Amino acid sequence: MSRRLNKTASWWFGMALGSMFFCAGPAHALQDPTRPPGPQATVAQPAPERSLALDSILFSKDRRVAVIEGEALREGQDFDNVRVIRIYANRVLVTDNGRERVLYLERLPQVRGTQ
């Protein structure tokens, strides 16, 4: 009986030891999500803001169109990760890669008449 008990105990011990080695790899890869980042943590740098040219605005009671980078867009339309949110008479509210931006028309240079 003792030999049988010893054999069963060694089998369970072997199974426990084997499962520890089997599960040790994935457990090592887990990280505590509440632990503050250490010095090895890298901070993601935001992408630099690209320049967008607001070429013109067509603003009337019935229609609002903004020409951005040569593309005529209405409210709700998008191109190249730029979505037009709202078109005003003098500016356009857009989201550029998820960031909200306001585009303004460039002022035209003042032209003086000659005398």
Q: Which amino acid is at 107?
A: R
Beta-bridged to residue 93, according to DSSP, are 86, 102
Model confidence band, residue 32 (pLDDT cutoffs 50, 70, 90): confident
pLDDT given for residue 49 in this prediction: 73
Q: Is 67 exposed, middle or buried (0-12, 13-18, 19+ CB in 10 A)?
A: middle
pLDDT given for residue 26 in this prediction: 55
Model confidence band, residue 68 (pLDDT cutoffs 50, 70, 90): very high
DSSP state of 68: E
Are 65 and 58 spatial neighbours (Cβ–Cβ below 8 Å)?
A: yes
Lowest mean pLDDT among 26-30, 58-62, 83-87, 91-95: 26-30
Are 41 and 33 spatial neighbours (Cβ–Cβ below 8 Å)?
A: no
Model confidence band, residue 83 (pLDDT cutoffs 50, 70, 90): very high
